[in-house]
């Protein structure tokens, strides 16, 4: 399978790329703006599987650069994209009254507009024969779920991504492309720890990576346009 993962230099994206790399049949393009961490990912993948097929790609999806650049970089490594996992995300924990428009723009540039750009760029490489887009969201972006103080910018961006998922699933039906959204609960990542230094996450990133990988490979056989809650908390 030809797989592209954004936000692959740490946390869930890192572990998901590493998980796929265990099997040589998977070719993985791991995207991040952090070259040093991507180099570390490649080293770790080679330890797990010396014959791994992982390609680090330094690219910042939040910058409104030429979309054709990402397309050419991906096309150089693979003829088509079977799975696209939009995992890259940023989070700010700050009371709403203190948030600035710049804060909202920074979050939306990665969590929403970066996803839009990535999908639009890679769309010509998808649907042949079938493709699955997995948008990594948050339980906080789901209507009626438990909300947390300080996350209005982050959670609203993930809510926008959830609705985008439903829209694209309908729009891409004739293209043989399925689009689903995983609304994750707390996972013990660097981003979570930085935002909530005193909180304990429910799930290890390695365990969540296994779930995401399996869903990416098989979920589209059973669902499309779905917001799937992956959390131990209720509601």
Helix residue ranges, H only, 109-204: 114-122, 152-171, 190-195
Query: Interhelix angle for 114-122 vs 67-77, to 10°?
Result: 50
Residue 111 DSSP one-character state:
I
**pLDDT > 70 fraction of the chain, expressed in percent and rounded:** 94
- Residue 130: which pLDDT band, with cuts at 50, 70 and 90? very high
CB 119 within 8 A of CB 133: yes
What number does CATH give the domain 2-230?
3.40.50.720
Where do the domains of the chain lie? 2-230
Q: Tell me the pLDDT tens digit for each residue of 131-153.
A: 999 999 998 899 888 888 999 99
- pLDDT number for residue 64: 75
Q: Please report which helix (H) or strand (E) contains residue 69, including its range.
A: helix 67-77
- pLDDT number for residue 235: 62
In angstroms, rounded to a whole number, what is the distance separating the alpha carbons of residues 186 and 189? 9
Q: Tell me the pLDDT tens digit for each residue of 11-21.
A: 999 999 999 99
- pLDDT number for residue 198: 67
Which residues have a catalytic role annotated?
154
Task: Please determine, for residue 61, whether its predicted confidence score (pLDDT) is greater than 80.
Answer: yes
Percentages of the chain per state (helix, strand, coil), in multiples of 5: 50, 20, 35
Residue 11 phi, psi dihedral angles, 5° rounding:
60, -135
Q: Tell me the pLDDT tens digit for each residue of 172-213.
A: 999 999 999 999 987 767 776 666 766 666 788 898 999 999
Which pTM was predicted? 0.94
Residue 151 DSSP one-character state:
-
């Amino acid at each position: 399978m030809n797989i592209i993962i954004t936000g692959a230099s740490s946390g869930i994206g890192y572990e998901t790329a590493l998980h796929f790399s265990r099997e040589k049949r998977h070719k993985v393009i791991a995207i991040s703006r952090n070259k040093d961490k991507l180099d570390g990912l490649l080293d770790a993948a080679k330890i797990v599987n010396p014959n791994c097929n992982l390609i680090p790609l330094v690219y910042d999806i939040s910058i409104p650069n030429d979309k054709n650049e990402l397309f050419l970089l991906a096309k150089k490594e693979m003829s088509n994209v079977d799975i696209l996992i939009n995992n890259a995300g940023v989070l700010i924990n700050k009371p709403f009254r203190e948030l600035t428009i710049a804060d909202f723009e920074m979050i939306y540039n990665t969590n929403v507009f970066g996803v839009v750009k990535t999908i639009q760029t890679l769309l010509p490489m998808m649907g042949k024969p079938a493709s699955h887009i997995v948008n990594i969201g948050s339980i906080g972006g789901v209507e009626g779920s438990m909300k947390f103080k300080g996350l209005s910018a982050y959670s609203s961006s993930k809510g926008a991504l959830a609705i985008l998922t439903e829209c694209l699933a309908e729009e891409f039906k004739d293209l043989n492309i399925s689009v689903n959204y995983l609304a994750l609960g707390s996972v013990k990542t660097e981003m979570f720890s930085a935002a909530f230094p005193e909180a304990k996450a429910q799930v290890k990133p390695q365990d969540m990576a296994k779930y995401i990988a399996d869903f990416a490979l098989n979920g589209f056989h059973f669902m499309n346009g779905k917001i799937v809650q992956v959390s131990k908390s209720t509601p």
